[in-house]
Structures are given as structure tokens and as C-alpha cells.
Chain A
Amino acid sequence: MIVQICVGSSCHIKGSHEIVDLMKKAVEEYALEDEVILAGSFCIGKCNREGVTIQIDDDVCTGVTVRGFDAFFKEQILGRLNM
């Protein structure tokens, strides 16, 4: 699974940095290093009013915030991996 967190300007100021840190930590916590490939991206083209855009393989999720990260991770990452 390729997970691209947008670090383009718009997402950057809405917290890409924090989301990247949370994602790295979560991947480590669940030992998903072999399943999940983390990568950056400059603008996925879905700039949102709130939160960060994350592309998982070909699907685009918008509005990921620090507060909503746990729910996002469970649903979108763990959910997709059937964990």
C-alpha cells in the first residue's frame, strides 16, 4: 500500500508535518513497515479548507486533521489491510 501525504503549500500550513509524524509513529506502532510505503507528494489537487490530503494507492482522502487522525488511520489504513 502506497500512502502519499501531501506536503504541498496548502496542506503544509494545515498540518502535513504533524500528520507525517503521526503516520510514521502509527506505522511503527502497528509494525506495518512492510505493508505501508510512505511517500510525499506536492499537491494531490484536492486542496481542502481543513486538514491534509492523503492518497492511498489510487484513492484520495481529504481533510485529515491531527484530531481525526486516529479514526482515519483505523478506518482507512487498518481497515484496508483488514486488520
Chain B
Amino acid sequence: MRKFDTKVQHLKYKILREVARLAWTDDLLEHVTDIPAMITQGIEATMRCCVHKEQAIASERVKLAMGGDRSNPNVIQVIEMACDECPVGGYKVTDVCRGCLAHRCEDVCKKGAITFDENHVAHIDKSKCVNCGMCAKVCPYGAIQDFKRPCERACKVGAIAKDPVKECASINNNKCISCGACVYQCPFGAIMDASYILDVIDMVKKSDNNKNYKVYAIIAPAIASQFSYAKHGQIVSGIKALGFHTVVEAALGGDMVALTESQELVEKGFLTSSCCPAFVSYVQKEFPDLAPYISHNMSPMGALSKYIKETDPTAKIAFIGPCTAKKMEFQKDGVAPYVDAVITFEELQALFDSKDLDISTMSEDFLDNASYYGRIFARSGGLSDAVVQAIKEQGIENFEVSSVVCDGIEACKLALMKARALLKARKPLGFNFIEGMACQGGCIGGAGCLTHGEKNKMEVDKYGKLAHEKTIKGAVSVLNQD
């Protein structure tokens, strides 16, 4: 079974795996420079113009696997050399144009930018064209295409542009929300999320088999749709075989958040969610006037980590999830004391293989801390369902949750614009809760997932239904022992 969606992911994985392999045995310092040659193998180029460029890019990937450019506050970083500098011409007529008679493109163009040559083939006058895309829409042959870089197309917050001097992609950190969409979409793998796998390996090694302190793995509920070649219990066994003391579901943090967030919603009357760090960052950067409405609750990761550190003060905690933005969140002042590192599912796969662990042959351990509602946080709409349920379970009457479920950052933008306009005009909103998820489909669409697919939402719901605890209060009540 395929472990990844793309070959770019596979390449990144191989680098991470080799870095990790050397780190476990303390050989990284001595052999780090051998990794690029291991990746390219032989003297024939298979990816780029020559093997030397391949190796040079591989070295850059090794740097990112080791934490990247620490002077860059953003974990999403461009490997300039790897950027293919894709053409950015905007709308162009391709050779698919048959020089038809209808000339719908000409008729629809309000700017008069379409002209025809002696063969009736259309051409776009770039001095007049405003890239509205109408011509492309009406062409019966689909002959007009938008030549836009895949990274720019992926970035719905407009944080990526061509560097005017170097031509390669350049990220504007003032706009970037670290969602990782560009990382997943760049066909050349020229954008990568910096990795904290070395921090995790160091944490595990220094614990001396959890004798000096215990290392906890908090695993995001999106795990339900991942590692489809193994069972959930085997993933837990694998994580423990890496040297973790135990594995706890972040979904339990979801249950905790659902209770407190629903109380906050009733109290304040209008709220946006705070679970998705990319969404929170987006509100803070583009809608600072709405920032006071962001729920003051920590994310499920933060809330659960705080609880664990309160019961076990020397604990070290690594969060494992689908999310690159979590790598920013855990460094924030309010979260940093509780979470020690964040890695993705991709990186977890690399860690398994760096120790040659085949989890599909392992025995099944248990993973059961949360309720159905905590688990469905992983997919769009789940958080809203959980808040409704939490209100019901707490017996709060006379309060109706009216949620706008925003699936992807574009939907978030629309809801936030609407909220801003209505609040300004002092008009009733018609809704009282914005569930903001930056990735399509919710966390299961995260850039750090191994695979993305139609069935993932179903897998999350299925996994949710397997939960031992049937209610949010039931899941959380075991924690409040005093």
C-alpha cells in the first residue's frame, strides 16, 4: 500500500528518515554530509539537471530536517535552489486554440484584450488583460489557461509571490499562516516545513527509557485516516517502541475544550474557535479587530498538555499531528511551557522507519481516552457538533448554537468579512459561532498528513464511534479527580 500521496513527500521522508537514523546512534555530526549522496544514489541525475544540483538541494533538505533556518521565525521555508521558477504569465492562449469562428473569448472580454492572427487563433494583449479569467471560462476547448505558480495558487492568503530579484518563490511572513498548503502543493518540493524530529529524538534519548522523565506523545485525531496500512493500536505500539512512555489522544483535549468553549460562547454571545492555529493566526493578521472574539481557550493540544504537566511536572510532551501550523503554535508564550515539540504524521513515518519498525507486524496496543465528540474535531464541522453537544450535556437552556462551519481558509475569510461588516453596522449577525479550519476538510486535509482522500472524513467518524466514552462529560470527568 502506498504510504504517501506524492513523490515529493517521499523524497522529504527519505531525508528525514536518514537524519533520524543517524541521530538515534549519535552519528549525525560525523555523517550528515553523507546523506545527499545516499539520496541521489549513483552519478546519473534522476530529478534535476545534474546529480550535483540534486545533492546540493538534498543538503538544503537535510538542513530543514534538522530544524531549518533558525533565524527565520516561520517554520515554512523556501529552498530557493529547488524552486523551478515556474512561469507566472497569467492567462495565456495555448496551442489547443483551434481558431474557431464563435470567438466567445473576444465577446466576453470587457477589456478588449483578445486579438486574432491570420489563422483566427486568439492572442491576449497583456497590456490590456486584467486576469479576470472570463475568456478561459467560456472557451469550449479549454484552450486558455492561467499560468500561475502552484504555490501561489495553493496559498489562499496571498503570502507567496515571485521574488523580484531572485525569481524564486518568496514567503511574506507577515501574511503567512503556516498552514503548509504550499508545502504540499509545490511540485518541486521547494517549500518545506522545518522539522523538530531531532528535538524529539533528543528528548527520548535523554529520558533514558523514561527513567529520568516520562516522554508523552499526544496524537491528533486525524490519525484515524492515516497509516492506513496498519491498525490504530499498532501505531500506538510503534510510538511506544520509539521510546515514548505512553500515547494520549489529543481528542481528550478536544473534549476538555468543548466544555469550556461552550461556556465561553454562552457567556460572550459570539465567538470564533481557537483550535486551528492557522485560523487563529489569520484572524490576528488580517482581522485584528475581530481578534478579541477568538476563544480564549487553549487548543486541544495545549489544554491536554497543560493537564499532563500538572499531573506529571517533569513530563516531556511531543504532539504528533497533520499540522504544520502547530509547529508555530507550540512556540507561543502561552503554549511553550506545556508542549516541547511538534512533529507531523510524515515525520512519524520517518521516525518509525529510521528504527526499521514495521508497525503493521506489531501487536495492538490501546488508544482510548476521548469521546466521539473529541475525536471528530479532526474533520470540518466536528468542533461545532461538539460545542452543541457540550451545551446539551451541561443542561444549558435557552441558548441555541448557530454555527458557521468554515471549511478551508477561503470560507473563513468570507465568514470573518461578514462578521466584521455586521458588527461594524451594529446589525444582528444571524450566527454566534465561527468554526474556522484553515485546511480543506479540516485537520484531515492538513499538509503533514501522509495521504489525503475522500474517505478520510468517514474514517474519522468511524473511529469516533469506537470511543469507549460516549459523552464529553464522561471523557473529561475521569480527569477531575480532586
Which residues in chain B, 445-482, are within 8 Å of chain A measured between CB atoms? 468-469, 474, 477-479, 481-482
- Are A17 and B311 in contact (CB-based, < 8 A)? no
- Are A17 and B469 in contact (CB-based, < 8 A)? yes
Which residue of A is nearest B480, CB measured?
A40
Question: With A8-B246, A12-B468 given, is the CB distance from A41 to B366 under 8 Å?
Answer: no
B308 at the interface (CB under 8 A from A): yes
Residues in chain A near residue B481, CB distance under 8 A: 5, 20, 23-24, 38-40
Which residue of A is nearest B310, CB measured?
A39
Question: With A41-B312, A42-B248 given, is the CB distance from A9 to B482 under 8 Å?
Answer: no
Which residue of B is nearest A12, CB measured?
B368
A66 at the interface (CB under 8 A from B): no
A70 to B138, CA, bound (A): 78
- Are B246 and A43 in contact (CB-based, < 8 A)? yes
Residues in chain B near residue A45, CB distance under 8 A: 210, 245-246
- Are A38 and B482 in contact (CB-based, < 8 A)? yes
- Are B365 and A9 in contact (CB-based, < 8 A)? yes
A48: min CB distance to chain B, Å: 12
Task: For A40, give its contact among B216, B365, B367, B478 (CB under 8 Å).
Answer: B478
B247 at the interface (CB under 8 A from A): yes
- Are B477 and A10 in contact (CB-based, < 8 A)? no
A24 to B307, CA, bound (A): 19
Residues in chain B near residue A5, CB distance under 8 A: 478, 481
B195 at the interface (CB under 8 A from A): no
A4 to B214, CA, bound (A): 16
How many B residues, CB 8 Å from partner? 25
A1 to B290, CA, bound (A): 48
- Are A17 and B474 in contact (CB-based, < 8 A)? yes
- Are B366 and A13 in contact (CB-based, < 8 A)? yes
- Are B469 and A9 in contact (CB-based, < 8 A)? no
Which residues in chain B, 205-235, are within 8 Å of chain A measured between CB atoms? 210, 216
Task: For A39, give its contact among B210, B246, B311, B468 (CB under 8 Å).
Answer: B311
A67 to B332, CA, bound (A): 47
A37 at the interface (CB under 8 A from B): yes
Question: With A17-B474, A42-B308 given, is the CB distance from A9 to B247 under 8 Å?
Answer: yes
A45 to B246, CA, bound (A): 8
A80 to B426, CA, bound (A): 64
A41 to B478, CA, bound (A): 10
A7 at the interface (CB under 8 A from B): yes
Which residue of B is nearest A45, CB measured?
B245
A5 to B474, CA, bound (A): 16
B325 at the interface (CB under 8 A from A): no
A69: min CB distance to chain B, Å: 15
A12: min CB distance to chain B, Å: 5
Residues in chain A near residue B311, CB distance under 8 A: 4, 39-42
Which residues in chain A, 18-73, are within 8 Å of chain B measured between CB atoms? 20, 23-24, 37-43, 45, 47
B206: min CB distance to chain A, Å: 18
A14 to B303, CA, bound (A): 25
Residues in chain A near residue B368, CB distance under 8 A: 9, 12-13
Task: For A7, give its contact among B245, B367, B369 (CB under 8 Å).
Answer: B369
Residues in chain B near residue A8, CB distance under 8 A: 246, 248, 369
Which residue of A is nearest B233, CB measured?
A9
Residues in chain A near residue B468, CB distance under 8 A: 12-13
Which residue of B is nearest A15, CB measured?
B468
A82 to B365, CA, bound (A): 38
- Are A7 and B478 in contact (CB-based, < 8 A)? yes
- Are B245 and A43 in contact (CB-based, < 8 A)? yes
B338: min CB distance to chain A, Å: 14
B278 at the interface (CB under 8 A from A): no
Residues in chain A near residue B249, CB distance under 8 A: 9
- Are A10 and B366 in contact (CB-based, < 8 A)? yes
Interface residues of B (CB under 8 A from A): 210, 216, 236, 245-249, 307-308, 311-312, 365-369, 468-469, 474, 477-479, 481-482
- List 19 A-B pairs, Cβ < 8 Å: A4-B311, A5-B478, A7-B479, A8-B246, A9-B366, A9-B369, A12-B468, A13-B366, A17-B469, A17-B474, A17-B477, A24-B481, A37-B482, A40-B307, A40-B479, A42-B308, A42-B312, A42-B369, A47-B366
Interface residues of A (CB under 8 A from B): 4-5, 7-10, 12-13, 16-17, 20, 23-24, 37-43, 45, 47
Q: Beyond A8-B369, A17-B478: 13 further Cβ-contacts under 8 Å?
A: A7-B369, A8-B246, A9-B236, A12-B369, A12-B468, A20-B481, A37-B482, A38-B482, A39-B311, A40-B478, A42-B308, A43-B246, A45-B246
